[in-house]
């Protein structure tokens, strides 16, 4: 288990642990290491490009490539089961389906183990930032109450109008941004 840091979230070392290979993988041969690193960084580049372009351009191509890749793997695995274990078509397809299910479960467990560390680090950071925010909030609430109680009725009226006039554009921008997010999701 990786020890959580007591300071702020160290993204560089955290991403370094996720996007590097272990020593056993490095000793498995230069071709394997090159292939693994290439696939790792290619997938990271596709994710970054997808985030930049909102998956409008890359999403359809990525879906097509993954579909063809999974079909290719399925066909090769099915023919492997038919030749190696002398299975008929029905049983080879069943064995391929169960193999895919086991690979999916294994990948899910692997990703859970990798990203549970990220989740724990984010939780620790979130708690610390929340404590800081609440401390500052209560301090500023007291300052605002002292300022508000020091105003006469005339200045309270115009301060309220000024706050409303300032709040309307901010609320409009937030609503517009949330509307775009919902439109992208739908």
Q: What share of the chain has pLDDT > 70, as a percent?
A: 80
Specify the pLDDT at position 11: 56
Task: Give the Cα separation of 171 and 110 in Å (integer).
Answer: 42
Asked, for residue 1, whether it belongs to a domain, the answer is: no
Same domain? For 41 and 63 the reply is no
Start-to-end Cα distance in the chain = 39
Q: Which domain holds residue 31?
A: 11-55
18 close to 114: Cβ distance less than 8 angstroms = yes
Together in a domain, 86 and 119 = yes
Write down the pLDDT at residue 74.
Answer: 94
Place of tokens 């949330």: 178
**Greater pLDDT, 38 or 15:** 38
Q: Is the pLDDT of residue 6 over 60?
A: no
Q: What's the CA gap between 72 and 31, in Å, rounded?
A: 22
Question: Cα(44)–Cα(46) distance, rounded to whole angstroms?
Answer: 5
134 domain-assigned: no
Same domain, 48 and 19: yes
* pTM recorded for the entire structure: 0.43
Cα pseudo-dihedral 23, 1, 47, 52, rounded to 10 = -120
Clarify whether residues 43 and 101 are in a common domain. Answer: no
What does the pLDDT read at residue 1? 43
CA atoms within 13 A of residue 67's CA, in its CB half-sphere: 6
Mean pLDDT of the region 125-129: 91
Q: Is residue 93 situated within a structural domain?
A: yes
In the chain, how many domains are there?
3
pLDDT at position 41 over 70: yes
> pLDDT tens-digit profile of 65-103?
899 999 999 999 999 999 999 999 999 999 999 999 999
* Structural domain contains residue 4: no
Does pLDDT of 43 surpass 80? yes
Which of 20-24, 35-39, 76-80, 165-169 shows the lowest per-residue confidence on average (mean pLDDT)? 20-24
Question: Rounded CA gap, 158 and 40, in Å?
Answer: 58
The mean pLDDT value for 148-157 works out to 92
Reported as half-sphere exposure (CB side, CA atoms, 13 A), residue 28 has a value of 13
């Amino acid at each position: 288990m990786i020890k959580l840091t007591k300071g702020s979230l160290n993204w560089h070392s955290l991403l370094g642990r996720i996007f590097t290979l272990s020593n056993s993988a490095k000793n498995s041969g230069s071709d394997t290491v090159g292939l693994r690193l290439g696939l790792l960084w290619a997938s990271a580049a596709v994710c970054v490009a997808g985030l930049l372009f909102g998956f409008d351009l890359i999403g359809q191509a990525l879906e097509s490539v993954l579909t063809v890749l999974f079909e290719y793997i399925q066909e090769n695995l099915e023919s492997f089961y038919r030749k190696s274990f002398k299975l008929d078509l029905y049983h080879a397809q069943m064995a391929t389906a169960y193999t895919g299910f086991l690979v999916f479960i294994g990948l899910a467990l692997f990703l859970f183990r990798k990203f549970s560390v990220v989740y724990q680090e984010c939780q620790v950071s979130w708690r610390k930032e929340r404590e800081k925010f609440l401390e500052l909030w209560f301090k500023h609430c007291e300052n605002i109450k002292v300022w508000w109680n020091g105003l006469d009725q005339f200045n309270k009226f115009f301060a309220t109008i000024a706050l409303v006039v300032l709040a309307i554009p901010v609320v409009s921008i937030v609503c517009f941004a949330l509307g775009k997010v919902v439109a992208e999701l739908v």
